Every structure is written in C-alpha cells, then in structure tokens.
C-alpha cells in the first residue's frame, strides 16, 4: 500500500435484508438513480478512503465492477464480514472505516468528523453514535464514569437498564487496524443471534487496554439504516430534498420541491426553472433559462439548451433540445437532435428503433423548424432548417431546408415552399 494512504474503508454488503421481502439484497435496491450501496461507496470515497473494500456474499460478488471485493462465504455475522476483508487490507497501516452498505444518508462530512474525533482522542476505535426519542432496535452505547465507551450491547442481549440508554450505535466505526484484527480474533458466537458480532470488538479492545470513543452525530436522519421498503422510501425523500436544496441554493427555481425528483448526476444551470411533478434522470443537462414543465420526464443523455422549454406531459430521452426551442405539450422525443428556435407542436413522436441489433436510429430536426400537431418522425430522418411540417403527418423521408412537408396519408414535400411564401430569414442572406 502507498504510504500516503491513511484511511481505508470496509463496506459490509453481505446481508440479504429479509425484512425487505425481496429476492434482491437490500443494499442493491435502486435509490434515486443509484443503488443503496452506491451512496455509501460515494461517502467513503468522499471522506478520502482508499482502498475501499466491499464485503459481499458469493451471490452478489460480481455486482461491484472495478471495486475491491472480499467474499463472505457464510453469513456468520458482522464480525465475520469485516474479518473477510483482512486479506484485501494486508499491509495497510492507516485507520479503517467500517460502514453499513444499507446506510445511504451518511454524508462524507460526517465521516470526516468521525475520523477527526478518533484521531483527536488517540482512540483504538471510535463509534459513530446518535440519540433518538424513538424506540429503535439498535445497540446501546455503554460508557464508563470517565465518558469513554466500555461496550456496545445489542438490544436482544441488553438488560432493562441498558435498554433505557438513549445513545445508540449506528454500525459505523473507525478502527486502528492492529486493534481491529486482534479483537476480531477473540470473537465468539455466544449471544442471542449465534453470530460473531462486530460490536463485541469494543469490549475486547477496552479489555486489552485500548481506548474506545464515540462521536455523537448531530443528525439522527443521517444514520438511518434501510431494512424495509418503508425506510427505503424515507431515504429517497431525504436524498431528493438534499439534491433539490443544493440546486435551489445554486440559483435554480424549483417550484414544488416535494414533487420534483432529480437524480444526482443531473446538471442544472442557474436561472433554469423546474415546474412541479417533474422527473429528471441523469446524466442530463438543463441549461440556463430552460424551463421543465409539470409532469415532464427527462431521461438520461438529455441536454435542454439555454432558454429552451420542455412542457407538460413531455418525455425526452437521449436527445438534445437546442437553445430557445420548445416542446410544449404531450410529446415523446427520443434519440433526437433538435436545433435552435424550433417549435415542436403537441403530440409529436420520434419513432426510433434498432436496426438489426445496432444502435437506435436518430431523428435530426434543424433550426427554426415548425412541426404540426400529431407528427411522427420515422427515424432515421432529417428535417432541414426553416422547414414546416403539416399536421397529422408521418415523416418517412428527409425534408430539405425551407420546405413544407405533409398532406396525409402519404408524405408530400414541397421544396422551398416556406422560402417562397415567407422569404428567407435576414440571417440567411
């Protein structure tokens, strides 16, 4: 390992999460554009952890492409899960963060503060703890008279007096590696669950003369672990609010944040406006002055240009909407390029499909184009600048610039009609 590395992370992702009532492990469930575990991995990286080791079950070990993975062959408990990462961290001498893969709300700045407290105390282990007025089934943090942590007692093993303790264990820790590996070797399964508890390492470390501390996180919400679909929905709402607030503080108008869902990879420039009931998925880009209408669905790969508009009941996918162009009503724009100053009328569809297994064909609509109501563009097709499309038309052939096309049931194109009737624009001279 590089001598410059002073923090590693072990992310416990071996559990199934039976309370989710799902065939999919809880930490692999989608959560606002990512998997639950991906939020945890991002927090670990954001705190400067390198390497980051994911402890996975044999069935999910292939779900972490590009990551260092340690396999927990049998579900013998959290202590066994962390022990599975020892080989991957062989020779590493810095501190080791241990994270729960199902705790997606814990931001990197809280991990920074945990590590800072740990190093300030000179502790062998420091726990991220929190207080709650709710009756949560979390382990209790037991402190001695000097304020140092003596042990963590799981609720199922706790006495009535210990259950009254309000300081709870978040299952987030930072260890000195020598203390961690030594304590893991002393674990046994004599407890209510018959498992190797990582929490028992605290008592072993203290017994060996090591100092155990706890940093009390001021934000109970940030420590939420996901065990049920109800908690998954709570976490999604928290992340939605964080993302929306960041955009609003950066100059974006979000008319109703409670009904606006923006994924973390979306880029939005200042002075853009997002109307209620909009979903914007990343990677997408909304430029300055653009407006996203109510009930709009912006899918990955989309760029909405400066002062452009995506209106009500419009879906846009893998497309570019040029500056000042408008798609105001009830349309689907997919795999398309729309130029500047173009107006797409209500009920337009770009009908794109794969040919012989290749990439989807694309629709290209130029600058200053005016389409009609209920147009379908059967890709691959290109509409030139300044063209007009008559209502109810299926466009199957390219339309030259300045032409009028349409007249169902078959496309008829009158080349140069727009220029003849209206004259060329001044900027074309």
Tell me the catalytic residues.
Answer: 329
The torsion defined by the Cα of 287, 290, 294 and 295, in degrees rounded to 10, comes to -40
Is residue 341 helix, strand or coil? coil
Whether 305 contacts 320, CB under 8 Å: yes
Give me 380's structure tokens.
Answer: 């691959």
Whether 340 contacts 305, CB under 8 Å: yes
Give me 77's structure tokens.
Answer: 């408990």
Whether 343 contacts 370, CB under 8 Å: yes
Cβ contacts of residue 214 below 8 Å, gap of 6+?
A: 126, 127, 128, 129, 141, 143, 149, 167
Distance of alpha carbon 142 from alpha carbon 395, whole angstroms = 73
Residues linked to residue 278 through DSSP beta bridges, in sequence order: none
Give me 74's structure tokens.
Answer: 């049998």
Distance of alpha carbon 220 from alpha carbon 237, whole angstroms = 15
Count CB neighbours of 93 within 10 A.
Answer: 13
Distance of alpha carbon 148 from alpha carbon 279, whole angstroms = 47
Residues linked to residue 70 through DSSP beta bridges, in sequence order: 55
Place of tokens 């929190």: 130
Place of tokens 């200053």: 368
The number of residues making up the chain comes to: 429
CA proximity to 55, closest of 166, 141, 158, 184: 184
How distant, in Å, are the alpha carbons of 104, 175, 386 from that of 27? 9, 23, 51
Question: Is the bond preceding 380 in cis, omega lying within 30 degrees of 0?
Answer: yes
Query: How many helices (H) and strands (E) are present in the chain, helices listed first?
Result: 8, 34
């Amino acid at each position: 390992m590089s001598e410059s590395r002073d923090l590693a992370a072990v992310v416990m992702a071996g559990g199934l999460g039976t309370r989710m009532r799902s065939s999919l492990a809880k930490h692999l469930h989608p959560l606002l554009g990512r998997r639950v575990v991906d939020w945890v991995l991002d927090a670990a990286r954001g705190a400067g952890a390198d390497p980051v080791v994911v402890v996975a079950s044999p069935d999910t070990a292939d779900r972490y492409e590009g990551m260092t993975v340690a396999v927990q062959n049998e579900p013998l408990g959290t202590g066994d899960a962390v022990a599975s990462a020892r080989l991957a961290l062989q020779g590493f001498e810095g501190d080791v963060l241990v994270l729960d893969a199902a705790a997606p709300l814990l931001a990197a700045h809280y991990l920074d503060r945990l590590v800072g407290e740990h190093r300030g105390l000179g502790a062998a282990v420091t726990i991220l703890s929190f207080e709650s007025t709710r009756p949560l089934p979390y382990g209790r943090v037991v402190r001695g008279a000097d304020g140092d942590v003596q042990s963590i007692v799981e609720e199922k093993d706790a006495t009535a007096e210990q259950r009254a303790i309000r300081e709870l264990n978040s299952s987030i820790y930072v260890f000195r590696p020598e203390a961690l590996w030594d304590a893991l070797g002393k674990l046994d399964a004599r407890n209510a669950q018959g498992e190797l508890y990582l929490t028992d390492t605290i008592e072993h470390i203290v017994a060996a003369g090591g100092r155990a501390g706890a940093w009390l996180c001021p934000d109970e919400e940030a420590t939420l672990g996901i065990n049920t679909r109800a908690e998954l929905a709570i976490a999604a709402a928290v992340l939605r609010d964080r993302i929306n607030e960041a955009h609003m503080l950066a100059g974006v108008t979000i008319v109703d944040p409670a009904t606006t869902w923006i994924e973390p990879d979306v880029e939005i420039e200042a002075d853009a406006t997002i109307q209620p009931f909009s979903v914007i998925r990343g990677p997408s880009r909304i430029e300055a002055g653009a407006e996203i209408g109510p009930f709009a669905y912006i899918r990955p790969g989309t760029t909405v240009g400066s002062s452009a508009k995506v209106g009500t009941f419009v879906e846009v996918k893998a497309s570019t909407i040029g500056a000042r162009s408008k798609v105001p009503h009830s349309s689907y724009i997919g795999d398309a390029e729309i130029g500047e100053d173009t107006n797409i009328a209500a009920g337009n569809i770009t009908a794109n499909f794969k040919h012989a297994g290749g990439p989807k064909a694309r629709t290209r609509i130029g600058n200053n184009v005016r389409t009609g109501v209920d147009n379908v563009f059967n890709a691959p097709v290109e509409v030139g600048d300044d063209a007009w499309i008559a209502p109810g038309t299926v466009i199957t052939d390219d339309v030259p610039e300045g032409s009028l096309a349409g007249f169902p049931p078959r496309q008829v194109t009158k080349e140069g009609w727009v220029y003849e009737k209206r004259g060329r624009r001044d900027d074309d001279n």
